[in-house]
Chains A and B, each alone.
Chain A
Amino acid sequence: MIEVLGKTNIDFMGWRRYSFALSGVLALFGLVAMVQIGRGAANLGIDFAGGTAVQLKFEKAVPIELARQALITHGLPEVELQEFTADNKLLVRVKAQTAIEEKVADKVLDAFKKVFPDNPFVVDSSYEIGPTIGEKLQEDALKAITISMVGIILYIWARFEFRFGIAAAIATFHDILAVLGIFYVLDKEITLLIVTALLTLAGYSLTDTVVVFDRIRENLRARHREPLEKTINNAVNQVLSRTVVVSLTVILVLVPLTFFGGEVLHDFSLALLMGVIVGTYSSVFVASPLLILWKGTPGKLLRR
C-alpha cells in the first residue's frame, strides 16, 4: 500500500483564525473584481463587453509595434494587441459599445494588407459581438450562478442541515470570488469560457466540501458526545488522503491542458487549476470551521 499520508491528526480547526483571515483577503479581491465588472472597469472579454476580436496567422513574424502603428494610421487607435510568437499569430481586440455595422474586422484586415503586402496572413477567427448580446450574456451568467447556488443550498439542506447548506454555499462562493479576484489582479480577460470555468470549479469545490461534510455527518451520528470541534477535525483528517489524492490527480490532468491545450484552453485550464487548489483549501479551512462558528441549536443530525 502506497500512501501519501498515513494516519494524520492535524488540528485544522485550530488554524481557523488564520484561514479566515486569508479567505477574507481572497474574497475581498473577488468582491472588488465584481464591483469593477459591474462598473465596466474590469478587463471584460468582448463576449461580455461587445466589440471585435480578430486573430490572424501571418507567414512571417510581425513586430507588435509595427502592427499597432499600422492600425493607428488606419483609424483604429484603441486596439489591444496580443501576440503568440510561437506560430506568428496576432490577436487584435477592439472593445466598443457600438454596433457591428462599422465593420471593424474588415478595417483591421485592410490595414494589414496594405502595410504588410509581402507577409500574407489567414484569418484564424473573427468575433464581432454587439453590446446587447453581451448584456444578455452577463444576465444569463448571473442567473446560472444564482440558480445553481440556490439549488445546492436546498439539496444540502435536505440531505444535511440548513447550516451545512449555507456553509457549503459560502465556501463555494468564496472559491469563485477568490479565482475571479486572482484573475482580476493578474489582469486576465474575463470571458464566457472563464465564467464556465468558475461554475465548473464551483461544482468541484462543492464535491470536495460534500465529501468532508458526509464524514462529519457520519461521525456526528456515531459519536455525538465528543465536542463538535474534535468531531470535525477527525472527519477532515479521515478524508484527508482522499482529498489530497483526488486534487493531485485533477491537477495532473489540468497541467498538460494548461500548457499544451492551445491558446483557447489556456486561461480556462488555468482558472480550473487555481480553482482546484482554492477549492481543496476551502473545503478543509473554510466550510468545516464555518460549522463551528455557527453555534445554532443542534439540528436533526445531532438529535438522531
Chain B
Amino acid sequence: MKPVTGRLVLLAVIVIVSLVMFLPSTPLFSKMPDWWKNYFPAKGITLGLDLQGGIHLVLEVEADRAVEIALDRAATNMTVLFAEKKLQVESVTHTTPTEITVSLGAPEAKDGVLKLTDDQFPFLTSRSPSDRVLVFSLRSGEADRIKKQAVTQALETIRNRVDQFGVAEPQIQQQGLRQIVVQLPGVKDPGRAKALIKNTALLEFKMLDETHKVAGMLPSRVPAGKEEDIIREFGPQIPPDDEILFERTIDKESGRVTKTPYLVKKRAVLTGDVLTDARVSLGEFQDAYVSINFDSTGAKLFERITAENVKKRMAIILDNTIYSAPVIQERISGGRAQITGSFTTEEANDLAIVLRAGALPAPVKVIQDLTVGPSLGQDSIEKGVRSTIIAGVIVVLFMVFYYRLSGSIADFALVLNLVCLVGALAGLNATLTLPGIAGIILTIGMGVDSNVLIFERIREELRSGKPVRPAVDAGYEKALLTIVDSHVTTLITGFALFLFGTGPIKGFAVTLCLGIAINLFTALVGTKVIFDLLNRRGRMDRLSI
C-alpha cells in the first residue's frame, strides 16, 4: 500500500487553496484583515449578465461609410483650399461613394490643383478624363486602412464614453473584422447606456439656406413622426446642395414632441473634431446647456465663419438632428460656443460625455442586443441555487442510502469536487452564468458516475470472494481505464463547445472541462486515500458498500 500521509497533505493543500481563491466571492471577504486583502487574491467569480443583469451589445461598424465620410471631408477641405489659393475651380463634388470630381474653370488651373492636392491629400490619386475635369479616388489599400482605423477608433471612442459613464468592469473588445462587443454588467438604466454607446455623436455646424423659396414654405411645427411627409412634399423642390433637417422640441407641460423643419446647406462649415472640451452648465432659468471649447484651428475657423455670416442663422447639428439654430449676432472669437436645446440635465450630461469622447468615425449598427433586468437575474440566481441544492441533497442521500459507508466516502468526494471547482473558477476569475450552474450540476453527475463505476467493480470483486483490501485495489484498478475513457470523450465535447461557443455557452464549457479534470482527480485520488486510511487502521473483514 502506498503511504497515505503524502496524499492527505496534498488534498488538504488543494482544499485550502480553493477556499482562499473562493473567499473574495463571499461576503466574508470584506471582514478579512488588510494584510490578507493585500497578499491574497481579491477577485473571485464574476456573475454573468444573466445572473446579475446588464447589457450585452454586438455592434457592427459601418466601415464603408467611414470611407465616404473621409472623402466628404476631403472634398470640403479642397473647396476651402482652392478658394484660399484663388485657383480657377468651378466645383468640387463628391460624385460616387469613392470618387471626387473637380471641374476646372480653365485647363491651365490643372497643374496648380494637382500640386496642391499632391501636397495636402497624399492618400488620393487622380485621373483626368478631359482637360477641364479631374477625378480623385483613394489610392489602393487606402480604403482598407481607413476601414480598419475606423473600427479601432470606434472601439477607443466607445471605451472612453463607457469609462466616463461609469460602469463597474465593462468589457469592450473587437470581434472579427468589423464588430465590437460591449458588455456592461449591472447597468441600472439600459436605455440611456445604449444611446450613449451607439450614437455617432457627429457634431456639425451648418448654415441655414434662408434665400431659397422652400425655406419660407416649410411649416413651423409638425408632430413627431410626420418628418417623412415633409421630406416627400418639399424634397424634390430643394437645390441639390441643400437638405431638410429637423429640430426637436419637447413641450415642458405636456411632454409632447414636435419637430421644426429647416432648410440647411449640406456642407458642414465646422465639425466636432476641432473640439477640446465640453461641459454642462446651467442657464438663468436652471435649464441645462453644453458649453464647448474649440482648439486653435477650430477657433480661427469659427471666428471667420461667424464674421462672414453675421445676421445669418447657423444650425448646430448632432447626428442629423438640429439642437438649435441661432442667429449670428456678431463675429465670435475666443473659440467658445454653446449648445442649447430642450434637454434634461441628464441628457445634457450624456451629450457632454459623447462630445468629449469624440464622434464615432462611422455609424454603428446594433446587431445583437441582450438586456437582462436586475430582477430577472436575482430570480434566476435564487431558482438556480435552490434547485442545485435540492439536487445535491438528493444525490448525497441517495449515495449514502445505496452504498452506506462507501456512499459517504463518495459524498466526501463530491464535496471535494465542488470545493475545488468553485476554487478553480474563482482562481481563473471565470464568469458564472446559468448554463455554468448547469455545468456544475453535470459535474456532480459525472462524479457520481465515477464512484458508482468503482463501487460496482469493488462489489464484483467482493462477490468473487476476494478480501476487502485486494478487492478495493482491484476495483480501482479495473475502473481506472473506463473512467479515463469516459472523461476524455466528454472532455472532447467540452473542448469543441469551448472553441465555438460564445458567451454563456463558453461559460458552460469552461465549468464542464474544469469539472471533468477535477473529478478525475477526486475520484482516483480523493476517495482512494480514504479507503486506504480505513484499511490501515487494522484489517477490515467487511466493507460497508
Contact = CB atoms under 8 A, between A and B. Distances in A.
Given A141-B500, A242-B452, A246-B452, A257 B391 contact: yes
Contacts of B441: 253, 257
A133 interface: yes
In this complex, the member of B50, B437, B445, B481 whose beta carbon has the largest number of chain A beta carbons within 10 angstroms is B445
B401 A140 contact: no
A144 B500 contact: yes
B368 A211 contact: no
Contact-size category for B: 35 or more
B438 A268 contact: yes
Contact of B367 (A100, A214, A245, A269): A100
Interface string A115-136: 0000000111111111011000
Contacts of A248: 398
Contacts of A140: 500-502
Interface string A1-26: 11000000000000000000000000
B40 interface: no
A245 to B, nearest CB: 5
Contacts of A256: 387, 390-391, 394
B459 A130 contact: no
A107 interface: no
Contacts of A214: 481-482, 485
Interface stretch (B138-146, B204-212, B490-498): B490-498
A151 interface: yes
Interface in B442-493: 442, 444-446, 448-449, 452-453, 456, 459-460, 478, 481-482, 485-490, 492-493
Interface stretch (B247-255, B335-343, B372-380): B372-380
A192 B395 contact: no
Nearest to B371: A126
Interface in B340-398: 365-373, 375-376, 379-380, 383-384, 386-388, 390-391, 394-395, 398
Interface string B431-445: 000110110011011
Contact of A1 (B446, B459, B496): B459
B493 A206 contact: yes
A268 B387 contact: no
Contacts of A128: 366, 368-370
A252 interface: yes
Contact of A257 (B373, B387, B398): B387
A223 interface: no
B500 A155 contact: no
B452 A125 contact: no
B505 interface: yes
B489 A245 contact: no
A241 interface: yes
Interface stretch (A34-42, A178-186, A193-201, A287-295): A193-201
A125 B387 contact: no
A3 to B, nearest CB: 8
Interface stretch (A66-74, A226-234, A258-266, A296-304): A258-266
B372 A125 contact: yes
B187 interface: no
A200 B390 CA distance: 21
A200 B372 contact: no
A199 B496 contact: yes
B445 A196 contact: no
B521 interface: no
A159 interface: yes
A191 to B, nearest CB: 11
Given A143-B500, A203-B494, A260-B383, A245 B456 contact: yes
Contacts of B449: 207, 246, 249-250
Nearest to A268: B438
A241 B395 CA distance: 17
A57 interface: yes
A99 interface: yes
A159 B390 CA distance: 38
A133 B388 CA distance: 32
B181 to A, nearest CB: 11
Given A203-B490, A207-B490, A250-B448, A126 B369 contact: yes
Contacts of A260: 383, 386-387, 390
A203 B489 contact: yes
Interface in A133-154: 133, 137, 140-141, 143-145, 147-148, 151-152
A282 interface: no
B29 interface: no
Contacts of B368: 100, 128-130, 133
B499 interface: yes
A50 B420 CA distance: 39
In this complex, the member of B50, B386, B453, B487 whose beta carbon has the largest number of chain A beta carbons within 10 angstroms is B453
B512 interface: yes
In this complex, the member of B387, B388, B452 whose beta carbon has the largest number of chain A beta carbons within 10 angstroms is B387
B508 interface: yes
A147 B497 CA distance: 9
Contacts of B395: 249, 252-253
A261 B388 CA distance: 8
A200 B371 contact: no
Nearest to B56: A127
A101 interface: yes
Contacts of A166: none
B332 interface: no
B432 to A, nearest CB: 14
A262 B496 contact: no
A203 B494 CA distance: 8
Contact of B376 (A55, A132, A245): A55
B58 interface: yes
A175 to B, nearest CB: 12
Nearest to B457: A242
A249 B371 contact: no
B386 A203 contact: no
Contact of A155 (B446, B489, B504): B489
Given A137-B502, A144-B499, A214-B481, 8 more contacts: A100-B368, A152-B493, A204-B442, A206-B489, A214-B482, A238-B460, A249-B452, A253-B394
20 contacts: A2-B401, A99-B367, A100-B369, A122-B375, A123-B373, A124-B372, A124-B375, A124-B379, A127-B369, A127-B370, A130-B367, A132-B367, A148-B497, A202-B493, A203-B490, A241-B456, A254-B391, A262-B380, A265-B384, A268-B438
3 residue pairs, one from A and one from B, having the closest CB atoms: A262-B383, A130-B367, A148-B496
